[in-house]
Structure 1
Amino acid sequence: MTAQGRRTGRDESEEERADRMWGELLQEVRVTQMGVQILFGFLLTVVFTAKYDRLTDTDQTIYIVTVVLGAAATGALIGPVSLHRLVAGRRIKPQAVEWASKMTFVGLFLLLGTMSGSLLLILRVATHDWFVPLLVAGVVVWYVLWWFLLPLWARHRAEE
């Protein structure tokens, strides 16, 4: 397909494109930020419950790793806001959009780890059955399918 055949119909400069992409990225980040911050907030309270002391060493390790992943995800997903504030007016918006996009992508991977760890801990505490890791693996595959594989497939199809 020729470059003309792939045109989107937009007639925008690099700066206008960066402005549009920045706005779209911020909308996407708002959704994920809220989810990760709520999840992280709930995770922070677990250690203060009476049940925490009765968790096995393995469950406490899962909890600690999950909290650290949640903190890292929160940082990565808030990073684009800080980046924008610190580089605003420096005429590097196209690069800032690229960097913020990478931060968001890392944040999504960390969010995947946070959600997986949370689910693993909850299901281990709720039931001690052998199938818990299988359920968690199934959910991880589900997230990977919808968050990464389907978008990559759509991107590949659009490039054909």
Structure 2
Amino acid sequence: MSHEPGQQPPAPRSESPEERADRNLVELLQELRVVQTGVQILFAFLLGLAFTSRFPQLDAFQRTAYVVTLLLTVVTSAVLATPVALHRGLFHRGVKPRIVALSARHAQIGLALLTLALNGAVLLLMDVVLGRTAAIVITTVTTAIFASLWFLLPWTVRRR
């Protein structure tokens, strides 16, 4: 475990492997509840978008961006809900550490997919509002922000 310079490392928890797996799963499922709400809001927004009066005016690029973003959102939702299905399907089977490991991996994959879905929505909206060049520039910046905060930052902290 890493700690801040000049500070004592945290004392190890006195918990059994089973207790650790229980705690880790509860923490992970709570994190996923928060993220899943955002995915549901994005999905609802995208569904409603198709029924607006301006939707038929989208060009081929915008329609493709819409369809890809909508499908990414659906897949993201499925991937982020997989830990719940794993827990339900394997409950009381004595494989909680495996459930935690698989769930953590699905959470990472889900965050990567969510990054793509959110930035797909940014690309589509910015293309409609500001034009293609601005949309590509802005989406590149927002994608870099997500990559930095969600992936690079944890990786950097983990390496220390």
Secondary structure of 2:157's counterpart equals helix
Superposition deviation, residue 118 in structure 1: 0.1
Work out which of the residue numbers 118, 122, 139 in structure 1 matches 2:121.
118
CA RMSD of aligned residues (A): 1.6
Distance 1:35 1:78 in 2: 13
> What are the ranges of 5 or more consecutive residues in structure 1 without an aligned counterpart?
none
Partner deviation per Cα, 1:69-109 (whole Å, 9 max, x = no partner)? 00000001111111111100001000000001111111101
Question: Deviation per CA, 1:87-145, whole angstroms, max 9, x where unpaired?
Answer: 00001000000001111111101100100100000000011152321111011000111
- Counterparts of 1:10-159 in structure 2 under 5 Å? 10-128=13-131, 130-157=133-160
In 1, Cα distance between the equivalents of 2:76 and 2:11?
A: 33
Distance apart, 1:6 and its partner CA: 6.7
CA distance in 1, matches of 2:115, 2:132: 23
**Residues 39 and 114, structure 2, Cα contact 8 Å, conserved in 1:** yes
Distance 2:11 2:117 in 1: 37
Provide the C-alpha distance between the structure 2 equivalents of 1:28 and 1:60, rounded to a whole number of angstroms: 32
Distance in 2, Cα, partners of 1:72 & 1:95: 22
1:45-71 deviation per Cα after TM superposition (whole angstroms, max 9, x unaligned): 111112111000110000000000000
In 2, distance between residues paired with 1:137 and 1:130?
Answer: 11
Aligned length: 154
CA distance in 1, matches of 2:10, 2:129: 53
Cα contact 2:46–2:70 (8 A) shared by 1: yes
Q: State the TM-score, normalized to the length of structure 2.
A: 0.91
TM-score by length of 1: 0.91
| Separation in 1, partners of 2:45, 2:108 | 23
Gaps of 5+ in 2: 2-7
- Percent of paired sites with the same residue: 39
Q: Which moved more, 1:37-46 or 1:6-15?
A: 6-15
